[in-house]
Amino acid sequence: MDKKTFNIHNLDLYSLSKDLLYGLWIIIMIGAIGTMVTYSYIKDSYEPQYSSSAIYVVTPRQSTGYVYTNKRFAENVISVFQNLLDADIMKNRIKKELHIDMKDVNMNVELITETNLMKVTVVSGNPVKSFQIIGSIMDNYNELSEYLNSDAVIDTLRAPVVSTHPDNALMPRSKSIETGMICAFVAALILAALSIMRKTLKTEDAVEEQLGTTLLGSIYHERKNRTFKAKIAQKVKVLLITSPIISTRFIESINNIRVKMEYEHERNPEKNVYMVTSVCENEGKSTVALNLALSFARDGKKVIIIDADMRKPAICKMLDIPKDNVVDVIKLLQGDCGLDEVLYHEEKLGLDIIMPTKGHSSTHEYVKSGAMKDLVHKCSKMADYVILDTPPMAMVSDAEALCDVVDFVSIVVRYDYSYEKDIEYSINLVNDSNAKLLGCILNNYKTFGNKSGIKNFGYDQSSERAVEVYDE
């Protein structure tokens, strides 16, 4: 079987959206953590910077009055002025005069475009310090003017002032929110990648491409509107095609699968025993098996359904059959009674049922016994179709043993539930047996725009409840 790391046909937007919705709390949590960490980091590492600036008019001592000449002269003065500010002589004088540290100080001089105006700016971590340094620079100008240009005249146009606000205002809120949104987005991408790469079956095409087997049919998810009171009570109901509230789409999906099973019987009239199993619990095999039996019965066929899941029997509970009216199939397998005693006829539904009345442990010996083979053989002679509802193949070995006493096997695969490797393992077990694998039934299939309303049903893990399980 050709393995694919990623199959584009298994990409399902509904599954992706569901996973992102379920993981929304993770996305929000990671975004919140990113926001708080960033906020704390910005506050702890914040160092305010205050600037103080002054503007001076630079002209030659003997001005010609030409603007262009004044601009060129100012450019030359500013170039020398900047070199002086960068030199240690100026920094040492300021340091000595003001008794301050010059490590965090940045001094800059620039020419205002198209003018002969010089702007001197000092930036430091203290507003008063920046103000004092500008004053010290200009106080030392006269003494150091010989390093600049003896012909330069510098007049104050705008005196420096003490800054009241830092240039790099603290804005942790906006930056931390931005970082938090980025963290949340990254978390969403990771969740999306995990959803896409999860090796479960999410589309109909993936069943045949990934598993290399036939898609026997799809049963779509059907949502039924329920009252708030019903949700609180958590009433458990059975999804059967005989119910008046079931959609036509669900009924037709069951009928379509039944038609394909009939076709196999027509090709091989002597073979009429069908096993319906699943890989894991809660995939809906019991509901599918019972509905297929009902579909055959409604088509006028004589059907016997055997609940071979003797560890967690479901049929008796699904049909609400009183246990006192039923003889446990275990008694037949133990040789304590005959077939006519365990065969329960449900007249309303037109079904003959063989079933346990309670869960049993250590059933493997009964399943692979000669009594079980004899039971299945006799039923195949008595009915047009025999359907076995078996335990999940990945849970116990009962289903594997039953593969050798049935003619056909159908594996119910719940949408986006069981992993491909587990399904492949079950398929291989069937292929190694005497039974023919008809294919997989994609159950509880969900897509956008599906408005027919199937409840999520399946194999309940509690032995005290019917197997019908509502979708949340």
Same domain, 94 and 226: no
End of a domain among 135, 158, 181? Answer: 158
pTM (whole model) above 0.95? no
**3-state class of 111 per DSSP?**
strand
Give residue-wise pLDDT tens across range 196-236: 888 898 888 888 888 889 999 999 886 654 445 545 555 54
46 φ, ψ to 5°? Answer: -75, 130
The total of other beta-carbon atoms located within 10 Å of residue 79's CB is 13
Same domain, 114 and 13: no
Give residue-wise pLDDT tens across range 259-291: 999 999 999 999 999 999 999 998 999 999 999
Start-to-end CA distance of the chain, whole Å, equals 35
- Is 460 inside a domain boundary? no
**Which residues contact residue 162 at a Cβ distance below 8 angstroms, ignoring those fewer than 6 apart?**
52, 127, 128, 130, 131
We report the CATH number of the domain holding residue 82 as: 3.30.70.1130
Count how many domains the chain has: 3
We report the CATH number of the domain holding residue 210 as: 3.40.50.300
- What span, in angstroms and rounded, lies between the C-alpha atoms of 95 and 97? 6
- What span, in angstroms and rounded, lies between the C-alpha atoms of 13 and 16? 5
Give residue-wise pLDDT tens across range 118-160: 899 999 989 999 999 988 888 876 666 665 555 778 888 899 9
Give residue-wise pLDDT tens across range 343-400: 999 989 999 999 998 888 888 888 888 999 999 999 999 999 999 999 999 888 889 9
- Is 462 inside a domain boundary? no
Same domain, 113 and 143: yes
Mean pLDDT throughout 232-254? 78
- Is 463 inside a domain boundary? no
Same domain, 18 and 89: no
Strands 351-354 and 408-414: unpaired
Range of the domain at 273: 204-445
Mean pLDDT of the chain: 84
- Is 453 inside a domain boundary? no
Same domain, 297 and 223: yes
- Is 305 inside a domain boundary? yes
Residue whose tokens read 């047009």: 384
Same domain, 72 and 209: no
